[in-house]
Structure 1
Amino acid sequence: MAAGPLKPHVDSFVLTLRAAGRSERTATMYSEAVRWFAAEHLLTGGRPSDIDVRYDTAPDKSADMVTFEPVRDWELVARVHIRSWLVRLRRRGHKDSYLNNQFRCLQQFFKWLAEEEEIPNPMRKLKPPTVVPEPVPVFEKDATKRILEMPGTRGARGKACKVRDTAIIMLLRDTGMRRQELAGLTVDDVSVADRRALVTGKGGKRRFVKFTFETAKALDRYLRQRAKHSHAHLPHLWLAQ
């Protein structure tokens, strides 16, 4: 992802994102997408790499890919460069949802660049790849039950992990919260008595989620165990050995 002469603008873009209060995760995702596009596509003139040869899923392996003179100035980027990059990623087998994500990262960068440098935006009116929604696989009740019934590691440490993991799985089952949301919970975010947890989601948005009495009992059991942990003073809800 060595963006060479194109890197300074990427750094300025990241600085703008941070100044606007965007999360570090978002800033990293945007900057990596732009640097990847710059390093692997623009600076190489779109010429195939070993990765393209290895993962090209197109039926016609000898089909010509769009190539061009290497681009070393953002002002020279045109629609053909962006479209050929998306085609290149699709030929590698990436799904439309991934292409859509890459498109939107580049879209935000070029929108910023057009305003910052007062130059035309090559992505203006360019439509993102269509994403056909796919059913999200979920755990059936029997599968969750089998997970909860799995034996833990022997000994006190194994028992402690079992108590914690059971509370985690049951909380996920009841609320459907995201993995990152669950990992970010603090002790003060959870109320066993009220059977609810305060979750911090994307963009710092907070919401309450409810859980069952069964899960409340599992959390209560874990909190009693957690109180004996050598790092019980930490705010984080989930503690490991």
Structure 2
Amino acid sequence: MGTARTRRPKDLRAGAFQPAINSFTLHLNAEGKSPKTVRTYAEAAQWFAAEHLRRNTDHTDWDDVTTDDVRAWTVWLLNTYSDSYGQQPVPGAAAVLQVVVHRRRTAQPHGEAPSARRW
């Protein structure tokens, strides 16, 4: 059994990353995802942007995000929150990866594949 840790409020101030999160939210709504799914994915992406990208990196765009960023974020979640929370970072990481992929697809001219330079 794990040791419980005190949760602090989530910082959801995504800054320059918010417009892509908004676009991703519209995309999820257009796909008919449930409101809870949309909210959960948007919040996970905002939290990742605020707590990891803005605090620990010089990244200014989703195109700068790497798998190492997502890995570091997941490790931080597991180390910061109780073991029972350890089941939840996977959907959060999935949300973050989907935002990155969505951003790269929408940034490409029609018909071109997204760059895989960092993935």
| TM-score (norm: length of structure 1) | 0.39
Structure 1 residues 106 and 122, CA gap change in structure 2 (3 angstroms) = farther
Name the amino acid aligned to 1:120: S
- Residue 91 of structure 2 corresponds to 101
Segments of 5+ residues of structure 1 without an aligned counterpart are 46-68, 125-241
- Residue 35 of structure 1 corresponds to 46
CA distance in 2, matches of 1:29, 1:11: 13
- Residue 101 of structure 2 corresponds to 111
Aligned length: 101
Instruction: State the 4+ residue runs in structure 1 displaced beyond 4 angstroms.
Output: 121-124
Structure 1 residues 37 and 123, CA gap change in structure 2 (3 angstroms) = farther
Superposed CA offset, 1:10-52 (max 9, x none)? 101101111121111111011000000001110111xxxxxxx
CA distance in 1, matches of 2:117, 2:18: 18
CA distance in 1, matches of 2:66, 2:97: 13
Structure 1 residues 122 and 88, CA gap change in structure 2 (3 angstroms) = farther
Q: CA deviation at 1:123?
A: 8.3
Q: Of 3, 6, 15, which residue of structure 2 is paired with 1:4?
A: 15
Q: CA deviation at 1:91?
A: 0.7
Q: Which has the higher contact order (CA 8 A, sep 6+)?
A: 2
Structure 1 residues 30 and 84, CA gap change in structure 2 (3 angstroms) = same
Q: Of 73, 82, 100, which residue of structure 1 is paired with 2:70?
A: 82
| TM-score (norm: length of structure 2) | 0.74
Higher helix share: 2
- Residue 60 of structure 2 corresponds to 72
RMSD: 2.0
Alignment of 1:23-62 (within 5 A): 23-45=34-56
CA distance in 1, matches of 2:118, 2:97: 6
Tell me the percent identity. Answer: 29
Name the amino acid aligned to 1:99: P
| 8 Å Cα contact 1:79-1:122 kept in structure 2 | no
| 8 Å Cα contact 1:10-1:35 kept in structure 2 | yes
Rg larger in structure: 1
